[in-house]
């Protein structure tokens, strides 16, 4: 599919790349085939001294929000996405496409659908792909013919997405230092409308040996003692974050804290169970009724 000239004039297309090395096998070629001009947005390799002394991120807040310590690669990734989004806001374009340089295009883009969703005064982000093989729909029902589906929560990973200006402004609000992962900062939750394509248009190679982020933290043990400890820690983090929010030390709402620490985890575990039990792969999963009631009760949805 070749994009219409007026589409190209509306989008700024950026590829986040460290040392200008594109690891993708087809991203440049596909974007050129679509008729999209693109530019490189430099990746960020943090200085180790600045990383360890807390100049770039808040180790305390990020550990509370992510329930673990961030790696130097994750902090660099978050800074790179922030810089790329800032480039978009400093441009004259209405919309942005942002890709990490290991993104692989696996389907044609429907630019009409993308423009229709992004052309809004509301903050909107469209995930063009996600890892692992699921995203959770906001609705318990949707038509199989739909090109894009609104999600109950932000998808996992941020290697390829379309974004409008209101959403970009939200992505850059809040703390000067990094307090969260690039996918997706807590202050976007319940404020940005997240969509996913019905099936991925883009995938990525997230092999730790291939990724500049490297290996993320290992799965938590399921032993009764470890589960109890993790639940106590989660409760402690939740209470601490609520206190910090009320004291205006953390610029996020209690609703966003609940969504980050409780809702996203519940939905993620549900998605993983669907992948394991039903061999779901690269699909948008309907939101079960029990979760809809929970989200409504907590006034998150």
Domain count within the chain: 1
pLDDT number for residue 188: 92
Q: Are strands 202-204 and 103-105 parallel, antiparallel or unpaired?
A: antiparallel
CA distances from 8 to 39, 208, 226, 261 (A): 13, 34, 52, 39
pLDDT number for residue 227: 78
pLDDT number for residue 161: 98
Which residue range is the domain that position 60 belongs to?
A: 1-301
Sequence-ordered list of residues with C-beta below 8 angstroms from that of 39, at least 6 positions apart, any chain: 12, 13, 14, 15
pLDDT number for residue 180: 93
Closest CA to 234 of 208, 210, 260: 260
CATH code (residue 125): 3.90.550
**Residue that is written with structure tokens 């190209």 in the block:** 8
Vertex 83, ends 98 and 251: CA angle to 5°? 105
Q: What is the pLDDT along the chain (301 residues), one digit of tens a residue?
A: 666 668 889 999 999 998 778 889 999 999 999 999 999 999 999 999 999 999 999 999 999 999 999 999 999 999 999 999 999 999 999 999 999 999 999 999 999 999 999 999 999 999 999 887 789 999 888 776 678 999 999 988 899 999 999 999 999 987 889 999 988 899 899 899 999 998 899 999 765 555 555 555 544 556 788 878 888 999 999 999 999 999 999 999 999 999 999 999 889 888 888 877 766 677 888 888 878 777 777 666 5
Q: What is the pTM assigned to this prediction?
A: 0.90
Cα gap 194→217, rounded to integer Å: 26
């Amino acid at each position: 599919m070749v994009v219409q000239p007026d589409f190209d004039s509306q989008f700024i297309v950026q590829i986040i790349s460290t040392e200008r090395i594109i690891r993708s096998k087809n991203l440049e070629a596909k974007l050129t085939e679509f008729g999209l001009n693109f530019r490189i947005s430099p990746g960020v390799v943090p200085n180790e001294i600045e990383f360890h002394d807390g100049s770039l991120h808040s180790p305390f807040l990020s550990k509370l929000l992510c329930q673990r310590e961030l790696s130097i690669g994750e902090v660099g990734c978050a800074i790179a996405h922030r810089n790329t989004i800032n480039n978009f806001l400093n441009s004259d374009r209405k919309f942005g496409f942002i890709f990490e340089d290991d993104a692989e295009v696996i389907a044609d883009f429907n630019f009409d659908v993308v423009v229709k969703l992004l052309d809004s005064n509301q903050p909107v982000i469209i995930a063009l792909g996600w890892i692992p093989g699921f995203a959770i729909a906001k609705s318990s029902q949707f038509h199989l013919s739909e090109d894009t589906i609104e999600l109950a929560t932000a998808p996992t990973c941020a290697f390829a997405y379309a974004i409008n200006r209101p959403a970009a402004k939200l992505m850059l609000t809040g703390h000067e230092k990094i307090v969260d992962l690039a996918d997706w900062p807590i202050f976007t939750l319940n404020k940005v409308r997240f969509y996913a394509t019905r099936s991925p248009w883009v995938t990525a190679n997230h092999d730790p040996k291939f990724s500049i982020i490297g290996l993320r933290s290992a799965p938590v043990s399921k032993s009764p003692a470890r589960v109890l400890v993790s639940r106590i820690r989660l409760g402690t983090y939740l209470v601490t974050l609520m206190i910090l929010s009320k004291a205006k030390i953390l610029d996020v709402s209690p609703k966003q804290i609940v969504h980050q620490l409780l809702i996203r985890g519940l939905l993620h575990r549900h998605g993983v169970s669907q992948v394991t039990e039903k061999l779901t792969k690269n699909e948008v999963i309907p939101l079960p009724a029990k979760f809809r009631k929970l989200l409504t009760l907590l006034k998150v949805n």
